[in-house]
Structure 1
Amino acid sequence: MKYIAGKTEFYINNSAVTLGKFDGLHLGHQMLINEVLSQKKLGMTSVMFTFLYHPHNVISDNEIKLIYTEEEKKAKLEKYGLDILISYPFTFYTKSLEPEDFVKDILVQKLDAKVIVVGNDFRFGRERRGDVNMLKAMEDIYGFKVITFEKKTWKDKVISSSVIRNELEKGNIEAVNAMLGAPYSVFGRVLHGKKIGRTLGMPTINLIPPANKLLPPRGVYISRTIIDGKAYPGMTNIGVKPTVGNEEPVGIETYIYDFNMNLYGQEVSVEFLKYIRPEIKFGSLDELKHRMAEDLDLGKKYFGI
Structure 2
Amino acid sequence: MAAVIYRNDPAYDEAYLAGASVAFGVFDGVHEGHRFIIGEAANTAREEDERSAVITFDIDPDEMFAADKLKKLMTNEARIAKLAELDVDAVVVLPFSREFAAQAPADFLEVCFGGGVPRHIHIGSDFRFGNRAAGNVEDLRAWGAERGMEVHGHELVAERGVPVTSTRIRHLLGEGRSREAAELLGRPYGLSGTVRAGRGEGRDFGFATANLEVPGDMLAIGEGVYACYAVVDGARYKAAVNVGVPATFADEAKENIEVHILDFNENIYGQPIEVEFIEWLRPMRSFDSTEELIATVMGNIAWVRENL
User: TM-score band, normalised by the shorter chain?
Assistant: 0.7 to 0.9
Structure 2 residue 70 is matched with structure 1 residue 67: no
1:100 corresponding residue in structure 2: 106
2:164 corresponding residue in structure 1: 159
Structure 2 residue 28 is matched with structure 1 residue 23: yes
Q: Distance in 2 between matches of 1:20 and 1:39?
A: 17
1:201 corresponding residue in structure 2: 206
Select between 94-103 and 155-164 the one with higher mean Cα deviation.
94-103
1:291 corresponding residue in structure 2: 296
How do 1:210-229 residues align onto structure 2 when only pairs under 5 Å count?
A: 210-229=215-234
Structure 2 residue 92 is matched with structure 1 residue 50: no
How do 1:75-224 residues align onto structure 2 when only pairs under 5 Å count?
A: 75-80=81-86, 83-91=90-98, 93-109=99-115, 112-224=117-229
Q: Distance in 2 between matches of 1:108 and 1:248?
A: 52
CA displacement 1:119-141 (0-9 Å, x = unmatched): 12212123433222233333443
Q: Under a length normalisation based on structure 2, what TM-score does the superposition of the two structures give? A: 0.84
Deviation at 1:112, TM superposition (A): 4.4
Percent identity over the alignment is: 29
Equivalent residues of 2:6, 2:12 under 8 A apart: no
Equivalent residues of 2:58, 2:76 under 8 A apart: no
1:232 corresponding residue in structure 2: 237
Q: State the AA in 1 paired with 2:91.
A: I
Q: State the AA in 2 paired with 1:186.
A: L
Cα 1:23–1:149 change in 2 (3 A) is same
Equivalent residues of 1:39, 1:46 under 8 A apart: no
Aligned-partner SS, 1:212? helix
Cα 1:248–1:69 change in 2 (3 A) is farther
Equivalent residues of 1:243, 1:284 under 8 A apart: no
Equivalent residues of 1:198, 1:204 under 8 A apart: yes
Contiguous gaps of at least 5 residues in structure 2:
none
Deviation at 1:247, TM superposition (A): 4.3
Q: State the AA in 1 paired with 2:7.
A: I
Aligned-partner SS, 1:62? helix
Deviation at 1:250, TM superposition (A): 4.7
Q: Distance in 1 between matches of 2:243 and 2:6?
A: 31
CA displacement 1:92-118 (0-9 Å, x = unmatched): x33331111122221232x54333221
Equivalent residues of 2:28, 2:60 under 8 A apart: no
Instruction: Name the count of aligned residue pairs.
Output: 299
Selected match of 1:261 from 266, 271, 282: 266
Q: State the AA in 2 paired with 1:69.
A: T
Equivalent residues of 2:156, 2:163 under 8 A apart: yes
Select between 159-168 and 63-72 the one with higher mean Cα deviation.
63-72
1:243 corresponding residue in structure 2: 248
Equivalent residues of 1:108, 1:142 under 8 A apart: no
Deviation at 1:276, TM superposition (A): 0.8
Deviation at 1:222, TM superposition (A): 0.6
Aligned residues: CA RMSD: 2.8
Equivalent residues of 1:243, 1:288 under 8 A apart: no
Contiguous gaps of at least 5 residues in structure 1:
none
Cα 1:63–1:219 change in 2 (3 A) is closer
Q: State the AA in 2 paired with 1:53.
A: D
